[in-house]
């Protein structure tokens, strides 16, 4: 077992020695997720042609052995080794050979493969690459970014026309990759082997379920482009290895050690969200009998919020990550110890209008009772509902406080003794927009969500220890944090005449009453929009 030591290893070694490594990691969370997906796809293809029933038997055999068999991995490597060459003339890995881009900008800077590097119209914040002074990536770095790009590409804008064998194909507007803005989840065990096995769900692996590197060369340009027309995944392997961009890397010929500074880059296969249920790492919300959408990150929510949201999904109504059901059945049948699951990893990238907001990969502990006590699902859902309702009340009152401070509608809160009279919301769209701008700038609601984070683990710990009513301390905590957030907003106004007029010079015990239920149960502001 490798301990506290980081080293670079090959794809082959990652599989053959998976039982000796704690895990795989990259500075980019998108690359870390993509590497796990690549390894899972390769393992599935090592047992091509197996049914889900056969896979269930194979899974138990592999788990008991504690490692992946050398013979299978070696056989796959010997057959497809040349397909993992980034610069192969006929079958470049995860690319389209002979691809060029028609137009004024046939070559894109290699930084286009990395969402964290400045290129094109991206904002230059902490990175200072420039298109006219192209960066050079090493071949290993390029391979990792290539994987992440296919899964997490950011859409928006016109795509360059693809040229194959002198035939030009117009491409649609660029769309997001299959995982962009989605919550990607996978379980983690004691070693890399255990992590891969926990997420290796038994499925039918048909011979025709091919990853892009196993495609055979087509005879014509039209036959090649035909592969990229369908936007529906047909199998988990296809979902794991979706080719959202058509790319051809162009190595720097003058370098002794291969580097890459440019590539041909355009829109590949658009991904239909209705195919997300085939991806073993995605959660989906069923809107009706025929429509479902991937669970997406919500802006200004802390990691624990997404954590509880994933864990609280009702499998009878929504689609949970496939590994959850797989592990639950194994534990229920006594074939897997509940303690084998150490962590739940959740990650992804959020963006809007072709601009990246943030990326993340959160590693959170998994309570053993998650897979054995189904009451946990309702507990997590109740915790979220409690916090969201209080956030709605907090935002409603903050809007009124801001409106009163701005003097748009007179006193926003009128106090009579110990009672608080909640007046109407801002009267005009301009008033409301101005008040919401003040609230957003103060980031009070965001602090409310963030301040709840330390309390989540305490509630879960109490649940594990058999607490009779784990919701009671949580409800109290939510109330206290809402009072605290509002009080912080109140104190930031200072003691000016405008502030006194807005607040009515309320004492603390009176201000706390603002967290009572809204008039006529007016929970009109969706929590998702806070």
**The pLDDT of residue 118:** 65
Of 115, 133, 135, nearest to 125 (Cα)?
115
Coil vs helix vs strand at 444: helix
CB 378 within 8 A of CB 360: no
For tokens 């504690």, what's the residue? 66
Spell out, as residue ranges, where the chain has pLDDT lower than 70.
1-4, 118-133, 217-219, 254-255, 289, 374-375, 404-442, 461-468, 493-530
Sheet holding 343-352, edge to edge: 184-188, 343-352, 355-365
* pLDDT given at position 397: 78
Query: Are the beta carbons of 172 and 369 closer than 8 angstroms?
Result: no
* pLDDT, position 422: 39
**Pair of tokens at residue 55:** 């896979």
What is d(CA 170, CA 337) in angstroms, rounded to the nearest whole number? 53
Residue by residue, DSSP assigns 242-292 as: ---EEEEEEE-TT-SS-EEEEEEEEE-----GGGGGG-TTB-EEESSSS-E
> What's residue 410's pLDDT?
40
Half-sphere exposure of 227 (CA within 13 A, CB side): 24
How far is 279 from 237, CA to CA, in rounded Å?
Answer: 8
DSSP 134-181: ---EEHHHHHHHHHHHHHHPPP-SPPPEEEETTEEE--PPP---TTTT
Backbone angles phi and psi of 38, in degrees to 5: -65, -45
Angle at alpha carbon of residue 290, lines to 523 and 227, rounded to 5°: 125
366-381 residue pLDDT tens: 877 777 776 677 888 8
Q: What is the distance between the alpha carbons of residues 184 and 187, in angstroms, rounded to a whole number?
A: 11
State how far the Cα of 486 lies from the Cα of 488, in Å rounded to an integer. Answer: 5
Secondary structure (3-state) at 108: strand
Residue 65: count of CB within 10 angstroms of its CB: 11
Q: What is the C-alpha separation between 98 and 91, in angstroms, rounded?
A: 10
Residue-range domains of the chain with CATH: 11-87+177-369 (no CATH), 377-529 (1.10.132)
- Nearest Cα to 86, choosing from 11, 147, 139? 139
Distances (CA, A) of 420 to 155, 295, 387, 390, 445: 48, 38, 22, 17, 21
pLDDT tens track for 22-79: 999 999 999 999 999 999 999 999 998 889 999 999 999 999 999 999 999 999 999 9
Report which DSSP code applies to 409: S
Q: Residue 193 belongs to what H/E stretch?
A: helix 192-198
Cβ–Cβ contacts within 10 Å for residue 270, how many? 21
pLDDT for 260: 92
Tell me which residue has tokens 């997906």: 37
- Spatial distance between the Cα atoms of 405 and 501, rounded to a whole number of angstroms: 7
234 C-beta neighbours (distance < 10 Å), count: 13
Strand order in the sheet with 161-164: 99-102, 161-164, 167-169
Residues 478 and 388: beta-carbon distance below 8 Å: no
Contact 136, 249 (CB under 8 A): no
Give me 164's structure tokens: 């194959």
Measured distance CA(517)–CA(294) in Å, rounded? 32
């Amino acid at each position: 077992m490798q301990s506290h030591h980081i080293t670079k290893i090959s794809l082959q070694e990652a599989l053959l020695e998976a039982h000796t490594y704690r895990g795989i990691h990259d500075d980019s969370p998108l690359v870390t997720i993509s590497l796990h997906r690549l390894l899972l796809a390769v393992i599935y293809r090592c047992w091509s042609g197996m049914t889900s029933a056969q896979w269930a038997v194979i899974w138990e055999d592999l788990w008991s052995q504690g490692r992946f068999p050398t013979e299978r991995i070696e056989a796959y490597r010997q057959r497809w080794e040349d397909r993992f060459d980034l610069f192969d003339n006929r079958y470049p890995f995860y690319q389209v050979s002979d691809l060029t881009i028609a137009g004024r900008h046939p070559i894109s800077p290699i930084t286009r493969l990395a969402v964290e590097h400045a290129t094109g119209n991206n904002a230059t914040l902490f990175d200072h690459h420039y298109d006219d002074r192209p960066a050079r990536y090493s071949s290993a770095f390029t391979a990792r970014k290539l994987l992440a790009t296919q899964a997490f590409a950011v859409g928006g804008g016109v795509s360059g026309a693809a040229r194959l064998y002198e035939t030009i194909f117009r491409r649609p507007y660029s769309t997001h990759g299959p995982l962009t803005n989605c919550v990607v989840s996978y379980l983690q065990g004691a070693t890399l082997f255990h992590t891969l096995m926990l997420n290796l769900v038994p499925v039918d692996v048909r011979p025709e379920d091919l990853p892009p590197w196993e495609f055979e060369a087509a005879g014509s340009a039209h036959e090649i482009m035909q592969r990229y027309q369908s936007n529906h995944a047909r199998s988990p392997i296809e979902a794991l290895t979706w080719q959202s961009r058509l790319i051809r890397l162009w190595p720097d010929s003058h370098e002794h050690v291969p580097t890459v500074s440019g590539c041909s880059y355009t829109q590949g296969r658009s991904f239909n969200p209705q195919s997300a249920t085939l991806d073993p790492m995605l959660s989906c919300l069923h809107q009706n009998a025929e429509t479902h959408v991937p669970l997406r990150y919500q802006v200004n929510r802390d990691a624990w919020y997404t954590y509880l949201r994933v864990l609280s999904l009702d499998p009878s109504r929504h689609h949970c990550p496939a590994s959850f059901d797989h592990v639950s059945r194994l534990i229920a049948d006594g074939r897997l110890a509940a303690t084998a699951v150490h962590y739940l990893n959740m990650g992804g990238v959020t963006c809007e209008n072709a601009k990246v907001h943030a990326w993340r990969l959160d590693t959170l502990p998994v309570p053993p009772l998650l897979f054995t006590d189904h009451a946990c699902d309702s507990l997590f859902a109740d915790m979220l509902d409690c916090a969201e309702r209080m956030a709605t009340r907090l935002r409603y009152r903050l809007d009124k406080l801001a409106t009163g401070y701005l003097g748009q509608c007179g006193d926003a809160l009128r106090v009579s003794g110990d009672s608080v009279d909640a007046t109407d919301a801002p009267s005009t769209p301009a008033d409301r927009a101005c008040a919401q701008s003040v609230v957003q700038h103060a980031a009070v609601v965001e602090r409310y969500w963030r301040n709840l984070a330390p309390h989540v683990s305490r509630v879960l710990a109490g649940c594990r220890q058999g607490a009779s009513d784990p919701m009671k301390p949580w409800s109290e905590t939510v109330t206290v944090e809402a009072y605290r957030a509002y009080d912080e907003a109140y104190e930031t106004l200072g003691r000016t005449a405008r502030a006194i007029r807005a607040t009515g010079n309320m004492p603390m015990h009176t201000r706390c009453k603002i967290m009572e239920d809204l008039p006529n149960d007016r929970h009109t502001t969706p929590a998702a929009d806070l």
